[in-house]
Chain A
Amino acid sequence: MTTDHTANAPAIIEARDLCKSYPATDGGAPAPVLRGVSLRVAPGEFVAVAGRSGSGKSTLLNVLASLTLPDSGTVLFDGQDITRVSEARRNRLRHSDFAVIFQAHHLMPYLTALENVLLPFMNGLAPVPAAMAEKGRRVLDRVGLSGKAGSLPGALSGGEQQRVAIARALVRDARVLFADEPTGSLDTATGEAIMELLAELGRDGLTTVMVTHNPDYARRAHRTLVMRDGLMVDSLD
């Protein structure tokens, strides 16, 4: 795993000098969480982000996925700085180009699996097109959830919930999948199955940025970036 083989390819995601701090809760000086992070992700790449707890991995992922803004620095998507675009453009990015999955709790608890998959298309008074609903069923089949389309998240196992979230990324043909410890709340076997699914999607060309603590899972990525104290360091400790 080297960083060289993508260095000259046009990046789909490129971050430059990202800095971010959260206001201190006790009224003291703001604690810097990202202290000048730069990275490049080429189209179709599967990148793992590792690092100690509290090193800023989730914050980095949120900034890249346009879920929060950095204090300084830029994030380029297809060459466009997405930290300086309109709110509407950021909404469109989150809707069509980026998909995020988290450790847990990312499904609407009172919508069925299929409705959760189709959630991005429910953003308006126009009904979800029948073709899209059909596609939603197909991606549920693809992630191995045929027959669970009508189930509420409460009736699904943790692994199945994670598959619904992945199906939600697939149904939109998202260009980049951001995953924050997607196996963190799953047992080893289930986590392994989810990792297998993500690796398969990666082989099909889905650009993926995944935060993980698990070195085995990190090894499945094309390369692993390591965070330490808000900085990108090259190798694992």
Chain B
Amino acid sequence: MNILTIPLRCARKKWLRTLSLFCIFTLGVASIVALREVSAVVGESLERKLTSFGANIMVAPARETLTVSYGGLPLGDLLLDEGHLPHAETARRIRSIEFSANIASVAPKLVTMARIGSPAGAAAPVAPLPVAVIGVDWPEELSLKGYWAIDGAAPKTPEGVLAGHTVAARLGLAPGRVVDVNGHAVTVTGVIGATGSDDDNVLLADIGFVQRVFNLPDKASFVEVAALCAGCPIDDIVAQLRTALPGQDIKALRHVVEQRMYSVHFAQQLALVVSLVILLTACAMVVMSMLSAVNERRREIGILRSVGFSRSGVFTVFASEALLVGVAAGLAGYLSGHGLALKVLALLHMADVAPPVFSPAALALTTGGIAAVSVLAAAFPAWKASRVEPAAALVSL
């Protein structure tokens, strides 16, 4: 039997009021927790989906070029190094930085040139044209180029190639046609619909095949990287890549990053705003309910004051009632919110991202936070209650 007996007994006697307050608060907490967890997962999933619209970091060999002219005659740019990266080692190093979990795709490219003639059976054969043949890592490349509309299919074997829209039109390439690349016969498995980018003007082949055919073992011209920036800033990832790949030129494609983070943050901020509105509503309910409770119970306040309870004692009685409801609602709200998030995510088929895990720390934090919020909400009415002069409190019915 101590001061807490009073709010406990009151909560039990007025169980309907306590229960409805508890339910309102639990509902508020549950929706906030569910919203937060769902939005975090949806944000991550959204970013992963956005990754299929291209890379946001470029790794290239540091090149020093010198523009040479002699006697007033421009002689073009002189490349001072060979301009290639070691393919396997670069990919491995990119994948092993501290933030490797944020690396979604590592897509190497090997750029070569070849003279390609029209395939056998072309409707209007043309003379062989110089065409860029790009070696790519198919699974990685396709994960970055989710927007490609392929007529045909992506190659399943090293001897298959995809043709860019313009190249295919000029040479009369179509799925199933066989062309000669540096003395090796390859089959066009698909033609990429017009993209408006460099991809329209090239043939894309397996990087291993290109390395072999052009005698460039383990070489890559540059590597495109798609990094997820929700968890950490792009600058940190770039800095780690610079450490892992000394001497290489690493650039973040800022506009891509910003654009992507804007979408992700928008989704998350929306969830945050909705959460805040819910929280404020729940707080207003607590304030209103406490205010009416305090007015209803002025006589009780008078009794407490008449037997010597201090103002802080009266404050404690009312605030601890709110604390009690806050703690109970925090616990129940977090657990049901977490359960709700798992259900919603299962319904949304967000299988590509790990579901939110139950964490006792988050439970404690949520409960503590909600308890603090409800005590704060009750603080004003409780303070008001404690200000009442004993005699004035006693006369009111």
Contacts and interface: CB of A to CB of B under 8 A. Distances in A.
Interface of A: 62, 65, 67-69, 87-88, 91-96, 99-100, 102, 105-111, 115, 118-120, 122-128, 133, 168
Nearest to A154: B13
B5 A67 contact: no
Contacts, number: 90
Given A128-B1, A128-B2, A123 B310 contact: yes
8 contacts: A68-B390, A68-B392, A88-B310, A105-B397, A108-B300, A111-B5, A119-B304, A122-B3
Contacts of A168: 307
Given A115-B1, A128-B2, A91 B303 contact: no
Contacts of B12: 110
A67 B391 contact: yes
If over half of B's interface residues share one DSSP class (helix, strand or loop), that class is named, otherwise mixed; here it is helix
Nearest to A112: B9
B70 to A, nearest CB: 93
B308 A94 contact: yes
Interface string B300-319: 10011111111101000000
Contact of B13 (A69, A107, A109, A120): A109
Interface of B: 1-6, 9-10, 12-14, 299-300, 303-311, 313, 389-392, 394, 397
A122 B316 CA distance: 12
A227 B4 CA distance: 42
Given A109-B13, A125-B4, A127-B1, A92 B308 contact: yes
Given A108-B300, A111-B6, A120 B307 contact: yes
Contacts of B391: 62, 67-68
Given A67-B394, A128-B1, A94 B307 contact: yes
Contacts of A100: 306
Contact of A124 (B3, B10, B305): B3
A6 to B, nearest CB: 27
B358 to A, nearest CB: 33
Contacts of B390: 62, 67-68, 94
B313 A119 contact: no
A62 B13 CA distance: 30
Given A67-B391, A111-B9, A91 B1 contact: no
Contacts of B303: 106-108, 119
A99 B307 CA distance: 7
Contacts of B311: 87
